[in-house]
Amino acid sequence: MTMSKSTQATAPDQKPIIVVKMGGSIIDQLTQEFYDSFSELLGHYHCIIVHGGGPAITSLLTRLEIEGEFHKGLRKTDEQTLEVVEMTLGGKVNAKITSELLKQGIKAVGLKGSDASLITADYEDEENLGFVGKVAEVEAGILYQCLNAEYLPVVAPLGKTKTGQTVNINADIAAGAIARAVQAEKLLFVTDVPGILREDEVIEHSTPEEIQSLIDHGWIYGGMIPKVQSAVEALSDKLEEVMIVSGKQALIQGDRMKGTKIRSKRKEGVE
């Protein structure tokens, strides 16, 4: 279970916290409509961004002629691969998102999960996956300090083990763990599809039970699996709703967010 350490600062008041996971699949395709509606969202929430970058890592590995391998959806990360992961997530992708937000007039500050004990991790499966981490503890205080100072933290999904080894963490899992640790009220996965699809139709409302059945029947596969699993794990009395939305369009259309809403069964239908 993920622990939260928040001794250094208190949670910001006035506005609730939203954690937004920006998928690597969409980072290069985010539209102006998306940014405009995102800016609108910032009027209602303190926001923390956690980003992916899987496609950018794969592309650099290919250019360097390093063979990539996935095991149960997680990238096998040897020493060479870790070097590329750190350069890509902590360097290129983090800088790209932060710069774009600054251009939009948003005070974004780039952080690596491996900075200042933000994310302490254990090995996921050292034998089969190498330097891949699972989140053990998140130091919420660092993020609270940013939010209290009106900065928007943009977090790269890297962590440090207790012995100081940097590890690669799946961004969906990092986002869920951070949302729990900071007691976020909402968690949003921004990706390249308009929500969970079944026969090309967006499922507007879903529950953990339905999601399990969609996985069991093969309707949910690949990169959508860690996303929905992380969504289901993040649900709590505090975090009642997780959404999966597209970054190709405005987040809010009319007066509501477009995409798939995931809530526990007993909360479903309760707005």
Ligand X SMILES: Nc1ncnc2c1ncn2[C@@H]1O[C@H](COP(=O)(O)OP(=O)(O)O)[C@@H](O)[C@H]1O
Ligand Y SMILES: CC(=O)N[C@@H](CCC(=O)OP(=O)(O)O)C(=O)O
Q: Under the rule (CB under 6 A), what is the footprint of ligand X?
A: 23-26, 52, 54, 191-193, 196-197, 219-224, 227
For ligand X, give the closer residue by CB, 10 or 62: 62
Residue with Cβ nearer ligand X (134 or 227)? 227
Q: Rounded to whole angstroms, how far apart are CA atoms 152 and 101?
A: 9
CA 128 to chain centre: 24
Could you tell me whether strands 133-139 and 119-123 are parallel, antiparallel, or unpaired per DSSP bridges? Answer: antiparallel
Nearer to ligand X, 150 or 201 (CB): 201
* Residue 53 in marked binding region: yes
Coil vs helix vs strand at 52: coil
Where residue 268 falls (left for φ over 0; alpha for ψ -120 to 50; beta otherwise) is beta
The partner in contact with residue 192, picked from ligand Y, ligand X, none with C-beta cut-offs of 5 to 8 angstroms by kind, is ligand X
CA distance 1 to 236: 14
Number of other CB atoms surrounding residue 164 within 10 Å: 7
H or E segment and range at residue 41: helix 32-41
26 binds, among ligand X, ligand Y, none (CB under 5 to 8 A by kind): ligand X
Nearer to ligand X, 147 or 262 (CB): 262
- Select the residue whose beta carbon is closest to ligand Y and give its number: 52
DSSP strand pairing (256-257 vs 197-198): unpaired
- Determine the interface stretch with ligand Y among 99-107, 110-118, 140-148, 166-174 (rule: CB under 6 A): 166-174
Question: Is there binding between residue 52 and ligand Y (CB under 6 A)?
Answer: yes
Q: Does 244 bind ligand Y (CB under 6 A)?
A: no
Closest approach of Cβ 46 to ligand X, in Å? 23
